[in-house]
Amino acid sequence: MARTQFFGAASLDGFIASPDGGIAWLRSYEDAGRDLYEDFIAGVGALAMGAATYDVLLEQLGPAAWPYRDQPTWVFTHRRQEAPEGADVRFVQGPVSEAHAEMRAAAGDANVWVVGGGDLLSQFVDAGLLHDLRLTVVPVVLGAGIPLFPRPVAGSLELTGTAPVGGGLVELRYRLMDAG
């Protein structure tokens, strides 16, 4: 069965970005996590993304280098935005539960990836729609920033695996027990 998953990285103290939304602290660890990412993205059929994450990707890569041309992407936003030419990017508003069935259908037998950010991730958890959390912990302490979860997670998490990644990174895998 296809699953809805979060796959991402956080600092040792639980932040996914610096206070200004930056991820420069993560750049020096990209090579260490490349194999994990390649294995993960091969099983992804559709993406759910927050507007801030979308903006950061476009700013860093440019629209011509949009990396998810093979997967439709739902961007949850409250403002009008433009999609990169030739990319299947759908801008949506409202509860994640309203778009989730369409995302799952588009993904087919593959998984839905909740790319970020923390608020969007929490919305999927709150709606009982997130099945798995795959978190790579990066050995950096930011001291402040955008948290992985901006509010408490109801329900329970079951640790299903851990793996050293290299470069001091560790992947933690959890299953959310209350996901639909």
Q: What is the pLDDT of residue 4?
A: 97
Model-level pTM?
0.92
Q: What pLDDT shows up at residue 106?
A: 97
Contacts of 12 (CB under 8 A, 6+ apart): 137, 138, 139, 140, 141
The two structure tokens encoding residue 168: 């001091």
Between CA 61 and CA 153 the distance in angstroms is 32
Distance between CA atoms of residues 52 and 49, nearest Å: 8
User: Which pLDDT score, from 0 to 100, does residue 124 have?
Assistant: 96
With vertex at residue 155, the alpha carbon angle to CA 39 and CA 123, rounded to the nearest 5 degrees, is 65
Q: What is the pLDDT of residue 33?
A: 85
Name the token pair of 3. Answer: 């699953």
Q: For residue 140, what pLDDT is reported?
A: 96
Q: Which of 40, 43, 41, 39 is nearest to 110 (CA)?
A: 43
pLDDT tens over the chain, length 180 residues: 789 999 999 999 999 999 988 889 998 898 888 889 999 999 999 999 999 999 988 988 888 899 999 899 999 999 989 999 999 999 999 999 999 999 999 999 999 999 988 899 999 999 999 999 999 999 999 999 999 999 998 888 999 999 999 999 999 999 998 755
pLDDT of residue 179: 56
Q: What is the pLDDT of residue 45?
A: 98
Residue 29 CB neighbour total at 10 angstroms: 19
Q: Which two tokens stand for residue 54?
A: 């979308």
Q: Which residue type, as a one-letter code, is found at position 136? A: T
